[in-house]
Chains A and B, each alone.
Chain A
Amino acid sequence: MNNWINEYQDKKEIVLSTRIRLARNLNDKPFPIKLDVNKGREISDMISEAFFKKYDNENFKRINLWEKELNESKVYADTYLISKELVKNRDKSSFIINKDETVSIMINEEDHIRLQCFDSGFNLKSAFGSAMEIDDYLEENLNFAFREKLGYLTSCPTNIGTGMRASVMIHLPGLTMNDEMSRVMKALTRVGVAIRGMHGEGSKAIGSIYQISNQITLGKSEEEIIYNLELIIREIIEREYSTRDKIMKTYEYEIRDKVKRSKGVLQNAEILNYKECIELLSNLRFGIELGIIDGIETNIINKILIDSESSNIEFIEGKVLSNNEKDIARAKLVRNLLNN
């Protein structure tokens, strides 16, 4: 598996990253919502011990959020390695992560275990394979809550069964510009697929980046869920490409102008707020994907996408900043990354 922020990607690839997440709970132990601090930390120890019997300390490390400053925990969340929910539970939550940052096992999020495997681009099967390998090992060493009819039991009934959420982050500027997203969203809801903004549940889409995932977890096997999701995403990709062709036929100069102006602003701005930065970045990415812009790799765009999050800006600067200071620091960061 490749880290989507560090690795070079095919410039035409409009899927930024793939994620497989499995929810697992220990049998006969209260779910995290019902755990006090001590019991929660005990469970974290238990799961970590089971994991580190096989996986070595060289490649993996355990991070207990109760030992970390809130700001540092937020950086992990803004890098998509852990969820905001895990940060909320930080008096009893931890996570295990590998060096490449392609595996992250959250402990005491909504469920005892949320195993996540990431890959760059559109690679549901490879991420699923890695998740299964770790899950197979964990289930040998821990007793998971499981019922014949209901499958893996989870704190929320929306995750029961396979406990699996497969998702991709995808860049859809064509469909967004052409005002087709509400139609796409409606169609997806009917087939049990959810589409959300980049920041997951409840978030609005900015910068034409969307997260698409399976909604249903019970009644279908993991392979079926992935197969269906893959078909649907391929269909969306096809539509995005054909919409791009249509737009370029009619508005070629307008698009070229928009892309180049966006590049100009990103390379020269002194003040950049988050939303503006993400929207301009989407235009620039669009230009790279269409071949209008040469010489900038999409992984640089991914890095800016992550680093320009407020908590990451503060982390990079090493201090708490006012909004205005953040916007100035963000502009400096973007200039440096794009001009070198």
Chain B
Amino acid sequence: MLCNKCNQNEANVHVVTYINDQKKEFDLCNECIKSYTSIVNFEIGNDKFDVTDVLSGIIEQMYGKKEVGISRDVPKCSVCGTDYDEFKATGMLGCSNCYTIFEKSVIPIISNVQSGTEHMGKIPKKQNEDIIIKKKIRELKSNLQELIMDENYEKAAEIRDEIRSLEGR
């Protein structure tokens, strides 16, 4: 099978990417994989691929020629001093504030290497009470829908009241 990108070399790696929950599959050759992949760590023959190489490859792939413009538009991070070129070269962020400064570039990378862009896990209790309540309400609402579908109205009414009391806080 020929590589989907260069259409010249024999493809020997199968790549699956998830971008905004959309699954795409490619077959790529050794050369093209270097600049376009979401597989974080693997070996082909004796070539090892480092995660930072891969991430910077994705950044290049995402922005290609436009990157000069981005470099000019994005200011340095005021907390740690990381600039766009540095971020592009390593694929690493310098501090929590970098996630705000480089948001436009980081989100596409995240959706490329992760299974979604929304955190579904643990929330630190301190300073995040609002987020925890919001999450709880979301869960209850989805429960409520299931209960209504099952015609379990008695339990549904309880859940509805619980949602109201949480929303009233």
Question: Closest residue of chain B to A135, judged by CB?
Answer: B122
Question: Closest residue of chain B to A223, judged by CB?
Answer: B121
Segment of B38-46, B66-74, B147-155 in the binding face: B38-46
Say yes or no: is B75 at the interface (Cβ < 8 Å to chain A).
no
Residues of B in contact, count (CB < 8 Å): 46
Residue of A154, A157, A192, A222 with most chain B CB atoms under a 10 A cut-off: A157
Contact A33 B115 (CB under 8 A): no
The bracket for how many chain A residues form the interface is: 35 or more
Segment of A138-146, A271-279, A304-312 in the binding face: A138-146
Indicate with 1 or 0, residue by residue over A65-85, a CB within 8 angstroms of chain B CB atoms.
000000000000000000000
Say yes or no: is B22 at the interface (Cβ < 8 Å to chain A).
no
Q: Given that A140-B125, A157-B93, A158-B40 are known contacts, is A148 also in contact with B131, CB under 8 Å in the complex?
A: yes
Say yes or no: is B168 at the interface (Cβ < 8 Å to chain A).
no
Contact B96 A219 (CB under 8 A): no
Indicate with 1 or 0, residue by residue over B96-121, a CB within 8 angstroms of chain A CB atoms.
11010000001001100111111111
Residues of chain B within 8 A (CB-CB) of A132 are 122
| Pick from A140, A218, A224: contact of B126, CB under 8 Å | A140
Contact B51 A156 (CB under 8 A): yes
Given A34-B80, A219-B119; 12 other pairs, CB 8 A cutoff:
A29-B95, A30-B80, A135-B122, A139-B126, A150-B110, A153-B93, A156-B55, A156-B91, A157-B91, A201-B51, A218-B114, A218-B118
- Chosen A-B contacts, 20 in total, with CB atoms closer than 8 Å, are A28-B95, A28-B96, A139-B124, A146-B128, A147-B119, A148-B119, A150-B110, A155-B94, A156-B51, A161-B114, A162-B121, A164-B121, A189-B42, A202-B41, A204-B43, A218-B118, A219-B114, A219-B120, A221-B122, A225-B121
